[in-house]
Structure 1
Amino acid sequence: LTTSQTRLQYDGMGVLPEYYAAVGTLLLLIYVILAVGNVFTIAFVSYEKSLQKPSYLIFCNLAAVDVAFGTTTMPKIIAKYLLKDETIAFHSCFIQMFFVHYLGTVTSFLLLLMAIDRFIAVCNPLRYSTLVTNHSTAIVCVVCWVIPVSWLSFILVQTAAVPYCDSNVITQCFCDQTSISKLACGDLRSLILFCFSMAMFVLLGPLSFIIFSYIAIIITVLKMSNVQARYKIFSTCSPQLLIICLYYLPRCAVYANDIKGQTSIDIRIMLIMWYSLFPPLVNPIIFCFRTKEIREMLMMKIRKKNVKGNQEASLGGKMR
């Protein structure tokens, strides 16, 4: 790594200094809700043996990615607005860049796996229990975590190998390859092309199969004569489809506008912040309240707790 700079400065969102405290407090609240919600999801599924199924295992992996991504990016963003600490060490920026792209790639693969799970369950239900087991799902989830390390390590090494200019301002809220490459003095055209190709592969590859799988699911469901079966399948698939849309639609908008080059920096940053924070924030809510099995399990737990509390209160009154 060749540069005279030891620290980089986040440009961040276009927020006036007098609003820094309010924005920082809001972001801190978002991070706390994001972390608590996703950790609760993982703990709840891990504790309830009846929920330890392939589809929930995939969602727990997604929740783990969401917590990791939030922990990778949010502390420095919060520090900028609450503590007015707008800098990050040069080497730390590269580490953050690696994990930002790594966790984003794992998320894309897990969403693909989620769609495959629903595709087999609806379109080939007789073979579902044979093809999709906890063991096979766990193996594929591990593969989703391992595969991106190879090419992202290559990108990290290549990005760090070029000389960097004296400019130290990153036009982003966290370090990513696009913002860091703008500070380079060396020729990064071939690396940028490789990064763009991999980004398209990670984005469009899974998205293409996801679209195909849900079209096949819709066609299969519409052929069913049983209305209750239709409703059950739609109610099972709709939370996952909503999560997928929240993740992919803003990303597609960012890449499409990057190609056109017509989006302002502030709008681009807001879109990136949207798809970085909003899906992890609402995923546990969608998962718990839109999934019938989870919703019923939670309500049963709450009712049991209320009954137990009433019995203890009644017993205490009789003892008096």
Structure 2
Amino acid sequence: MPEGNHSIVTEFVLTGFPGLHPEYQGIASVVLFIVYFLTLTGNSMIIFLFAIDHSLHKPIYYIILNLCACDLFFSTTTLPKIISKYWFQSGTISFTACFVQMYFVHYLGTVNSYILFLMALDRYLAICHPLRYPLLLKNSTIYILSISAWIVAQAGPLMLVIRAYPLPYCASNIINHCYCDHIGITMLACTDRAPYGFPAFVLAMVTLLGPLAFIVFSYCSIIISVLKIANVQGRLKLLSTCSTQLIIIALYYLPRCFVYLASNVGITFSADARIVIIMLYSLCPPMINPLIYCLRAKDMRESLWKQFSRKPIPQKAQVSAISN
């Protein structure tokens, strides 16, 4: 009998934080809502600034624009459902909707990794090859690379869904997580998970470590180039231009690498601790990134200041100008 013919699960149940006491669920939902609200507000503000200020239409800010869009989509894919679980006791998600959410979780995570790769490429060319930078990385080049990242990233997550969807799910339908992901779903399949789990692990490593390898190479090259500069002030200025990207990259990669390494060296976490760590590295960077852009990126900071420092023309002055 084909495996897909005896799956009796029609919906899944997201537990959220399994060990969370009922009296703290309201607080957890409020915290998640605040995170979602700040993520929407911050990233929408960056997109708004980019739309109205043509001085931001540079390669690095096109890359940041892609990162903001990715962060918005990821937070919207994951947070509303878990918030509704705690607010309206609506923790169930249909069979198909869970796989749709799983696809977008892994797809947007892949896109995010590729965008960080482009960010490192931008800084590498700007500092290590400054004379060739305007020729190698034009706005049109960023368009092509960005679109390619969004298209290429679809392949892996789509393969995961196609392979996992027909599996027989005939036991528990409870997912110990705040959203549907490949591990959470396939752990519930009534079959050997190894043929499905290993390719997913390899894909995750390629997606994570491939861009990370270039990022490490690029920043090592940047450090070597900076050390060759005799002027101390020049060194500090160049390092300052990279600090924003380094913070963003560290927020994305370091917690993920820690979780993967910990699981492979035998360090185990409780279900709640694991979910908290995953939620922190999944949801905090999208919330914090806009703040980092505005505080560290000079053009973004100046653009934001111009919007807030605009003073409306007094009505009397307007009338006087019209009458003249």
* Shorter-chain TM-score above 0.5: yes
1:52 aligns with 2:60: no
Identify the residue that residue 132 of structure 1 maps to in structure 2: 137
For the 8 Å contact 1:235–1:291, the answer to whether it is kept is no
1:189 aligns with 2:189: no
The alpha carbon displacement at 1:195 in A equals: 0.5
d(CA) in 2 for partners of 1:93, 1:169: 12
After superposition, residues 56-67 of structure 1 pair within 5 angstroms as 56-67=61-72
Identify the residue that residue 209 of structure 1 maps to in structure 2: 214
For the 8 Å contact 2:294–2:300, the answer to whether it is kept is yes
Q: Which runs of 5+ in 1 are unaligned?
A: none
d(CA) in 2 for partners of 1:257, 1:177: 19
Q: Among 276, 280, 301, which residue is 2:282 paired with?
A: 276
Identify the residue that residue 312 of structure 1 maps to in structure 2: 314
For the 8 Å contact 1:20–1:81, the answer to whether it is kept is yes
TM norm structure 1: 0.94
The alpha carbon displacement at 1:215 in A equals: 1.2
**Larger relative helix fraction:** 1
Partner SS, residue 153 of structure 1:
helix
- 1:260-297 CA distance string (max 9 Å, x none): 36222211111110011100000000001111121122
1:81 aligns with 2:86: yes
Q: Structure 2: which amino acid aligns with 1:5? A: V
Identify the residue that residue 252 of structure 1 maps to in structure 2: 257
TM norm structure 2: 0.93
Q: Structure 2: which amino acid aligns with 1:129? A: P
1:168 aligns with 2:188: no
1:106 aligns with 2:108: no
d(CA) in 2 for partners of 1:296, 1:43: 14
d(CA) in 1 for partners of 2:214, 2:83: 36
Partner SS, residue 126 of structure 1:
coil
Q: Among 5, 12, 16, which residue is 1:12 paired with?
A: 16
Partner SS, residue 191 of structure 2:
coil
d(CA) in 1 for partners of 2:315, 2:297: 33
Partner SS, residue 20 of structure 2:
coil
The alpha carbon displacement at 1:230 in A equals: 2.1
**Runs of 4+ with >3 A deviation:** 313-316
Identify the residue that residue 227 of structure 1 maps to in structure 2: 232
- 1:19-44 CA distance string (max 9 Å, x none): 11121112111101101111111121
Q: Among 131, 141, 155, which residue is 2:146 paired with?
A: 141
The alpha carbon displacement at 1:119 in A equals: 0.4
The alpha carbon displacement at 1:116 in A equals: 0.7
The alpha carbon displacement at 1:50 in A equals: 1.0
The alpha carbon displacement at 1:212 in A equals: 1.3
The alpha carbon displacement at 1:211 in A equals: 1.0
The alpha carbon displacement at 1:95 in A equals: 0.6
The alpha carbon displacement at 1:312 in A equals: 1.1
For the 8 Å contact 1:8–1:168, the answer to whether it is kept is yes
After superposition, residues 149-160 of structure 1 pair within 5 angstroms as 149-160=154-165
